Amino acid sequence: MIEKAKAFAAKAHEGQKRKNSSEDYVVHPIRVAALLEHAGFREEVISAGYLHDVVEDTSYTLKNIEREFGLDVKDLVAAHTEDKSKSWKERKQHTIDTVREGSFELKALIIADKLDNLRSLQKDIETYGIEVWNNFNAGADAQKWYNQSIVEGMTNGLESEEVPSYFDEYKQLVEQTFD
């Protein structure tokens, strides 16, 4: 299932590039899935890592995901897919609420995604400086609110021994980037 999800993501994101970069977009879901795999998550969660942006950023639908990978993977992808008809703030508030109230596996998927995004952002800031913020739908202050709110909710309902180490890295990067 994992290799199938990787191939599906590569096909779905073919020709897409990362923001501020010439890097192929599929590199992002590959890194997200690798974080999840390294943390020991089951294959459905790792597969969702590969597929987390497919519905949001390509012509594929949740029905396609369910048909190819099952209801469990589809539900994880669906819970992490933003509704682009809503405003930036509404979409981000939904993600914040999902992180605070979601299952452990859903939290893990979202934090892996946010961590990889923040790692890329840090590299972009080092390369391009504060001009990077001009490429976002919301500026540095809004991004600070969003990422700090994710940190505040990400361990809600979890025992400390359950929390993957990459959650700590995300928290540290949020502090470094926005404080």
Break the chain into its structural domains and give their ranges.
2-178
Give the DSSP letter of residue 135: G
Place 72 in a pLDDT band, splitting at 50, 70 and 90. Answer: very high
**pLDDT value, residue 20:** 66
Which pTM does this prediction carry?
0.94
Does the domain at 2-178 match CATH 1.10.3210.10? Answer given as yes
| 57 classed as catalytic | yes
Question: Which segments of the chain does DSSP mark as H helices, in order?
Answer: 2-12, 27-38, 43-51, 54-57, 62-69, 71-80, 88-101, 104-128, 140-153, 165-178
The residue among 98, 65, 105, 57 whose CA lies nearest residue 80 is: 98
Calculate mean pLDDT across residues 86-92: 94
Q: Which of 24, 37, 43, 56 is catalytic?
A: 56
pLDDT of residue 125 exceeding 90: no
> Rounded to 5 degrees, what are φ and ψ at 17?
-120, 155
Q: What is the mean pLDDT of residues 105-118?
A: 97
Which of 17-21, 86-90, 109-113, 135-139 tops mean pLDDT? 109-113
Angle between helices 62-69 and 71-80 (to 10 degrees): 150
Percent of the chain with pLDDT over 90: 76
What pLDDT score was predicted for residue 132? 78
Catalytic residue at 24?
no
Task: Answer yes or no: is pLDDT of 135 > 80.
Answer: no
Q: Given this model, what pLDDT does residue 152 score?
A: 97
The residue annotated as part of the active site, out of 24, 37, 43, 57, is 57
In this predicted structure, the answer to whether residue 30 has a pLDDT above a threshold of 70 is yes
